[in-house]
A and B are shown apart, each in its own frame.
Chain A
Amino acid sequence: MPESRPNNPQAQADDQLIVRYLDGQLDEQAFAALNDRLKADPALRHRFIDLTLQAHYLNALVSEPDLTLVQDELLSHGPARTSSKFSLPTAYRVGLAAAVAAALLLVATLAIVFLPGDDTAPDVAEVPDFTPTMPDITLDTSRVVATITDQAQAEWVSVNGRGALPGRTLLGPNQRLTLARGFAEITTARGAKVLVQSPATIETTGSDNAIRLHSGKLVGRCDTPGSKGFVVHVPGMDVVDLGTVFGVEADAEHGSTVTVMEGSVRAEPAEASPLAFEPVVLKEDQARRVKPENGALETIAMSDVPVLYAQVPHPYVKIVNDAGSTLWLRQNQKDVGDRLGKTAYGKVGQGFGVLELNGQGCVDIGNTLNFASDQAFSIAVWIKPDMRSDDMCVLGRMADHLERGLHGYDLYIKEQHLRFQMKHAFLHDAKKDSLIRVESSEKLKDQTWQHVFITYDGSSRAAGLRMYLNGSEVESNVIDDSLSGNTIHANTTFRVGIRGFVDAERFGKPGLTNKLDAVGGGSPMFGGIGDLVVFDRVIGPEHIQSMHRLSRDAYFAPHEGS
């Protein structure tokens, strides 16, 4: 903490100026004055830092994001909480719609992975006290044509050996590398960037604006003038960038595929088979595949495109929204403990950023993710159940319309088995109940982090529901399969850690405490919940494995004992 401030008129005026700044209430002239004074007056700078920090500490201590306000905000985009001004109590991001499409996911992925590249973050080597990691693979870099510019849990294999490479590794011509694990960003000497997903084998060429993909997947992005014309060589095809974002897969069995997410590319036959097909320009949302049997180019639907999924691991709960960005539940324990009282919510953010629930609370994400029974969706979540209860709701969106019955969906643990249900139940006539209920054959492990993935194809049939545990599909038993045309839409909120058995209309908007009291618990969750992601589509097994592997290795494995 800095020295105590003098309490003279100038100091008081300075404090008021800073408080106004923090409030976003300085006009241009006053702000310019503050800027100049901060430049000239070290004492004022310390006052400024002190007050800025205090404002943030106060926000962390006293902010009590009213869930009803969050809901209102989601629905009406109310001005108070969505202001772009300083407005410290920014409890949650807004704009949830849970509608992330495949292309958006890819673009979001690119944004996540590419943004922190050379232009936006310093090389760690620029920071003092840096001890460089020695390369495990020696590479010829007499003429640099590309650079490995970023890596996530990457393990490489070359003719010289296997191991890690430094964060930045220069690549000369004709260097072949296999990415055995993780992700890597490679930037050509002319600025084109590719994100390579393991397992993949790449090779630099004699060109400073090309790369060869022997097998595996990559996403290319060319948004610098020098990178235009960047070429990815895959078996049977050359993909020439025309200013774009595109995905490429080289698969010996199924052929090479190109998919355009933004802009356009030109697909040309490879040098070895120049007459295999006519060059074609592809635009956004178009995809082509080279048939392995004859080298011809065929059109494929976007839904058949193998999607590259790269998830940057993180310690937060998140919801992917329709803009491809994420909602991050705030991890500060105070945010939850303070605002909701001692009985309403469990702890959040202890350990390593996951929710830790003790059967006395939950987190309410607001009126969102209101899927209908004919809509596809997928839900991924890490859980570490504490099996002290036979019936624990992990998450869901289930409303009790008092006179009408239960509507919604939820994921829960029943006698250690994982269950997912979608239901439109009738209070006074159970025969009319319309529901799907599926249960995993195998039991979940007690006190162990496990990655649960549910996919639903919108078919209104139990067969359209799939359960995955730790990246692999598990056998499931169908308990009910009678979902009819009745909607599972519900006037409620998406909650983590408890079943939403309460009609919001009945209890008005008093906050969750009353609701919890009223329902006597609602199958509360005991244990940990983390890394929640919801998609508005079916995620395929390959991507589920990829997501599982990455989040496990990078995040949950180190905390298995946590």
Chain B
Amino acid sequence: MSISHGQIVRVLMRERVRLLAFIQVLVFDSHTAEDVLQDISALAITKSHEINSEQHLLLWLRQSARYKAMNLRSKHQPHLFDSRVLDLIESDWSMHENAGSSEIMQALEKCLGGLSPYARSVIDSRYRDGQTGENLAQAVGRKIGSVYVQLSRIHRNLADCVRTRLAEDQADA
């Protein structure tokens, strides 16, 4: 039995962040990643009669993204991993899809609320305002290395916090 257009759209919306993250690993450039996602999303709808489950769809989307990215790679040279690395990342990727995107987002949102005002301002500057580490360093008058240390610590704390919250939620359920 094939998947419906509605199911495809729901999966695309639900998995948008993860798909975009995966594609960005392939092509690095965020605009190109958006383009690839748009293309394969549109193609998925035309292929709906040949796709029989959500898992099948996700697998197909990642493979399609790989194919499409291969054609784009020559135009976007910097920061592109070699195909062996991409094979390995692709095979590991599904292990990071056990938790639902919305659950992770909710947990992350709560964890963000627990950050110190300074840590929160660093995250906001980086992700809301799009500041690079270099700009951040200039803004706060610190060395760039120190900013990356701080950023990586915040990421680590957030990851631990999310993990704990997801585990608690699972236990509550």
Contacts and interface: CB of A to CB of B under 8 A. Distances in A.
Contacts of B24: 52, 56, 86
A127 B60 contact: yes
A4 B163 contact: yes
B93 A12 contact: no
Contact of B96 (A19, A53, A122, A331): A53
A249 B59 CA distance: 39
Interface in A84-103: 84-90, 93
A24 B163 contact: no
Interface string A4-33: 110100001001101111011110000100
A216 B58 CA distance: 36
A31 B60 CA distance: 29
Interface stretch (A112-120, A191-199, A205-213): A112-120
Interface string B24-60: 1100111100110011111101110111110110011
Nearest to A153: B46
B19 to A, nearest CB: 10
A124 B50 contact: yes
Contacts of B41: 314
Contacts of A128: 56, 59
A81 B104 contact: no
A502 B22 CA distance: 41
B130 A88 contact: yes
By CB atoms of chain A within 10 A, which of B25, B130, B162 has the most? B130
Given A25-B132, A49-B89, A90-B31, A61 B105 contact: yes
Contacts of B18: 53, 56
B67 A120 contact: yes
Main secondary structure of the interface of B (DSSP, over half): helix
A353 interface: yes
A70 B107 CA distance: 29
B67 A121 contact: yes
A234 interface: no
A349 B16 CA distance: 12
A367 B33 CA distance: 25
Given A25-B134, A54-B108, A88 B30 contact: yes
Contact of B128 (A89, A90, A122, A349): A89
A51 interface: yes
B85 interface: yes
A312 B44 CA distance: 11
B123 A19 contact: no
Contacts of A543: none
B119 to A, nearest CB: 12
Interface string A43-84: 001101111111111111111100000000000000011011
Nearest to B35: A325
B39 A115 contact: yes
A508 interface: no
Contact of B47 (A124, A349, A555): A124
B96 A49 contact: yes
Interface stretch (A130-138, A271-279, A461-469): A130-138
B21 A52 contact: yes
B132 A87 contact: yes
A116 B105 CA distance: 31
Contacts of B88: 38-39, 42, 45
A339 to B, nearest CB: 8
A16 B46 contact: no
Nearest to B96: A49
Interface string B78-119: 110110110011001101101101001100110010000000
Contact of B92 (A49, A61, A312): A49
B108 A93 contact: no
A5 B78 CA distance: 28
Interface residues of B, number: 92
- Residues of A in contact with B, size category: 35 or more
A50 B159 contact: yes
Contacts of B74: none
A16 B21 CA distance: 18
Contact of B16 (A46, A325, A331): A331
Contacts of B73: none
B31 A16 contact: no
Given A1-B163, A52-B24, A39 B84 contact: yes
Contacts of B126: 23, 58, 88
A334 interface: yes
A332 interface: yes
Given A87-B132, A151-B46, A121 B40 contact: yes
Given A48-B89, A352-B9, A19 B30 contact: no
B108 A61 contact: yes
Contacts of B31: 84, 90, 93
A467 B34 CA distance: 33
A540 B84 CA distance: 50
Contacts of A38: 81, 85, 88-89
A49 B90 CA distance: 10
A51 B89 CA distance: 13
A554 B44 CA distance: 12
Interface string B132-149: 111100000000100011
A558 interface: yes
A4 B159 CA distance: 8
B10 to A, nearest CB: 8
A50 B153 CA distance: 14
B159 A5 contact: yes
Contacts of B59: 127-128
Contacts of A19: 133, 148, 151-152, 155
6 contacts: A53-B104, A58-B123, A93-B31, A116-B40, A122-B67, A124-B60
Query: What are the nearest 9 A-B pairs in CB distance?
Result: A116-B43, A15-B152, A124-B50, A89-B130, A56-B21, A312-B42, A121-B64, A120-B68, A152-B46
Interface of B: 1-2, 4-6, 9-10, 12-13, 16-18, 20-21, 24-25, 28-31, 34-35, 38-43, 45-47, 49-53, 55-56, 59-60, 63-64, 67-68, 71, 76, 78-79, 81-82, 84-85, 88-89, 92-93, 95-96, 98-99, 101, 104-105, 108-109, 112, 123-124, 126-135, 144, 148-149, 151-153, 155-156, 158-160, 162-163, 166
Given A49-B92, A353-B9, 19 more contacts: A1-B166, A16-B149, A20-B148, A24-B78, A38-B85, A38-B88, A46-B92, A57-B17, A61-B108, A62-B124, A88-B130, A115-B39, A119-B71, A120-B67, A121-B64, A167-B47, A314-B42, A315-B13, A332-B16
